[in-house]
Chain A
């Protein structure tokens, strides 16, 4: 295993600093929302988590296409890494959204189009891990994984546009929302700055974690090869 690259070490430091700044902005810079109160602050990292989720699922679909075209196993590692990170962040977005909903809507969960499509999306990607677990041959596993990552990506734009095409109570932050949306609020300039900074920070966190996870994937591949060599 190669030692940690200097660039990755620098990225780690930048990521931590950005994260601490974002946390500071959420709690001390962004003003208190007039109606919802403190729970509105959950929104900054809730959306950022969902953004990382969708970003990673997109990266995995692109990696899937790259694998099918070139057959290089490194794209399988990229796809798996992106989906694993996004799965975790998207799950966090769902749970933090549920907590926000309890404080804002008065319920933990409702079968609203956004919540439903988000839950389906997460389950679709949970099945990705089950699929991989069921295949022993690494090449076959990579091929099936790539096809699945591409096909399952359909659930991502569906989740994103669900609040724009269906009647929903989920607020739309960018663009105009449905008339029945509950929990919408006008973003003050400081709120918008905090929101955009959180999105940027979480994008960097994603890149940093992806790099680490790819290195872990390569380590796992090395272990698997060594195991096969030792058994022979």
Chain B
């Protein structure tokens, strides 16, 4: 009876579920953060370049 119950139970794979979704959520978050950071840096660079251009004039 106990053997039958053990055989019928799903495999214990919770740690792989956690690992899988940590990777999925982690990479997605990193990518979104990278978009925000790159956008902010480019905006800052544009401001600096515009300022340099005006100083040249």
Contact = CB atoms under 8 A, between A and B. Distances in A.
Determine the main DSSP class of B at the interface with A: helix
Contacts of B53: 226, 229-230
Given A46-B20, A92-B27, A219 B14 contact: no
Determine the main DSSP class of A at the interface with B: helix
Interface string B4-29: 00000011111011011101100110
Contacts of A35: 10-11
Contact of B35 (A37, A213, A223): A213
Contacts, number: 99
B28 A92 contact: yes
Given A35-B10, A99-B20, A104-B13, 15 more contacts: A36-B13, A37-B12, A38-B14, A39-B20, A40-B13, A42-B17, A95-B27, A96-B24, A100-B16, A103-B16, A213-B35, A219-B42, A222-B46, A223-B42, A230-B52
22 contacts: A33-B10, A36-B11, A37-B14, A38-B16, A39-B13, A41-B20, A42-B16, A42-B17, A42-B21, A45-B21, A49-B24, A92-B24, A96-B24, A99-B19, A99-B23, A223-B46, A223-B49, A226-B49, A226-B53, A227-B49, A229-B49, A230-B56
